[in-house]
Structure 1
Amino acid sequence: MALRLQWEAFEKHANHSSPNIVSAKKSRVKSKDKHHLQVDLERDVHETEGLISPRVSVPRLSRTASTGFLPKGSVFHVNPTRNNSTILYSDVNGLRKPPDTVKRLECTLEDLCFGCIKKVYIKRDIVTDDGQVIQQDEVLTINVKPGWKKGTKITFEGKGNQTSPTCIADVMFVIDEKRHPVFKRNGDDLEVAIELPLVDALTGCTVTIPFLGGQESRLTIDDDVINPGYTKTIEGEGMCLLKEQGKRGNLNIKFSVKFPQNLSEEQRSECFNILQDSC
């Protein structure tokens, strides 16, 4: 009963104190749940299906422990100076906590631009009040904020293995950015590469520009000669800004020029006559 009460008190505090930790509910996950995969936390966590991250297992540690669950004087509090609003744990008895379990959480550019919900299922060791070590399933929900970057850290305090009644490890996820097939991130801006044939680069053209999220736009260039490295910027189509809600960075379009591999003598002569006085 003491173990259950401690868990309920912790979960109530976590759900009301941290916007990044939407919930941390105890849950016995059915092995036949088609929406979740079992992945050992010894490996990194990658996106698999929609917004649901796979089930993970915290590395198991000590199989023996003293009685009790949390020490007297244990305090849960929020550190307002940390951007991810991590719930922090302190032990006034001065006992050293086990090191954090740190793992990557891979996100797409779309996840980091528009935000999403990721759920991670963990299995960890818990010390009961009679000194037994049992395994417990639990769901951790991460609210990925629009504008988060690679390296953003999300810490779940006290959600790692329990090695003794007073020592509980943390679980930390570090955001990693999955390589995008079209866009490249540069701070709050996005870059996209467009290749044009030489004739279009010289005479002008209209090209289709993709936007992150699946939209497209038509861009006409008829007043410039496009050379390799030529750049056009579309404002407000980059990444969402974390600290400025509703605003976005820019989309920089970088052009490259595809030259013909072969020209006949007649074509060479015509090109020479046309271009000899253009520079």
Structure 2
Amino acid sequence: MNGIHSFRYNGDSMRGSDQASSRGVYRNRGVDNCFPSMPSLSRNASNRRSTTPTPSCIYRNMSKKSTDNLPRAPSPLLSKNASRRSSTPIMFSNSSGLLKPPAVERRLECKLEELCYGCTKKIKITRDVVTNTGQIVQQEEILTIKVKPGWKKGTKITFEGKGNERPGSYPAGITFVIAEKRHPLFRRDGNDLELAVEIPLRKALTGCTMSVPLLGGERKSLKIEDIIYPGYEKIISGQGMPISNEKGKRGNLKITFLVDFPKQLTDEQRSEIVSILQDSS
């Protein structure tokens, strides 16, 4: 239960690649040759007559302005950079300018008994650390997790700054996600436990007193007076999993009986069964 698990964290997956940015260059195009070509002798005279551009020139200016205001289609370079950014891990920044990579998730498998009664897990990790000279060295450390009674699979425990370090960024965090190991007898359903018990046909019809196992290793005597049919269920209150938000309360233990029918009978046994059950509905 208190064994030491070892994980190796590879920080390469937490590096943020430099984002290439594209700068579009825009040029204001002047409108040349707006006036019709005139002979040199009459140029001054035409200038004195009118300085207003011709309608064809005005129309060309209006068409150029209207097309300049339309949204431009992204260049292939911009599309390539956008697709590249979408596959890059998200890096968070703050006022200090340092990047904060997302936490790395790891599974932490626990037995059903550990999730029921609680335990202490010690996990040995190896991570990259940046020294004062800028070198990256490996450092070993042991993290302690106190598993509380009633924790369910999917519960997350995060250690800030216990991941790999990289120059120009904060150390990454490590998040352990609780995973539930399969139990040979019990199955968890929320706060309840389920147990399947096989019982012979004779005891199922005549009743019996039997001993059923509990999760902690104890056994409980259970008296059955009802006729047990396939799918019959018996509930023992307070023998399930602890309810984390209700101190001192536990779920129920649901026992499902599987009737074990005989695979063969003699002629004498068949006759006796017929005579016994002939008046039953």
Superposition TM-score, scaled by structure 1 size: 0.69
The structure-2 alpha-carbon separation of the partners of 1:225 and 1:94, relative to structure 1 and needing over 3 Å to count, comes to farther
Please identify the structure whose Cα radius of gyration is greater: 2
Residue 236 (structure 2) aligns with: 234
Shift of 1:170: 1.2
Aligned 8 A contact 1:204 1:225 in 2: yes
Residue 250 (structure 1) aligns with: 252
Aligned 8 A contact 1:102 1:174 in 2: yes
* Mapping 1:21-170, distance limit 5 Å: 50-61=1-12, 91-93=94-96, 95-170=98-173
Q: Identity, % of aligned pairs?
A: 56
* 1:184 corresponds to which of 164, 184, 187: 187
Aligned 8 A contact 1:57 1:123 in 2: yes
DSSP 3-state at the match of 2:166: strand
Residue 270 (structure 2) aligns with: 268
Higher helix proportion (structure 1 or 2): 2
User: One-letter code of the match for 2:9?
Assistant: V
Larger CA deviation: 245-254 vs 195-204: 245-254
- What is the CA–CA distance in structure 1 between the aligned matches of 2:250 and 2:95, rounded to whole Å? 44
Higher strand proportion (structure 1 or 2): 1
User: One-letter code of the match for 1:131?
Assistant: G
- Superimposed CA distance per residue, residues 123-149 of structure 1 (whole angstroms, 9 cap, x where no aligned partner): 100111221111111111001010000
Aligned 8 A contact 1:61 1:125 in 2: no
Aligned 8 A contact 1:204 1:221 in 2: yes
- Superimposed CA distance per residue, residues 213-236 of structure 1 (whole angstroms, 9 cap, x where no aligned partner): 1111111112x1000111111111
Question: Any unmatched runs of 5+ in structure 1?
Answer: 1-49, 65-88
Shift of 1:53: 3.1
User: One-letter code of the match for 2:10?
Assistant: P
Question: Any unmatched runs of 5+ in structure 2?
Answer: 16-91
Shift of 1:244: 1.1
What is the count of residue pairs matched by the alignment?
Answer: 204
Superposition TM-score, scaled by structure 2 size: 0.69
Aligned 8 A contact 1:61 1:161 in 2: no
- What is the CA–CA distance in structure 2 between the aligned matches of 1:164 and 1:141, rounded to whole Å? 27
DSSP 3-state at the match of 1:111: helix
The structure-2 alpha-carbon separation of the partners of 1:91 and 1:129, relative to structure 1 and needing over 3 Å to count, comes to farther
Are 1:206 and 2:157 an aligned pair? no
Aligned 8 A contact 1:127 1:165 in 2: no
Aligned 8 A contact 1:104 1:173 in 2: yes
Shift of 1:278: 1.9
- What is the CA–CA distance in structure 1 between the aligned matches of 2:3 and 2:108, rounded to whole Å? 12
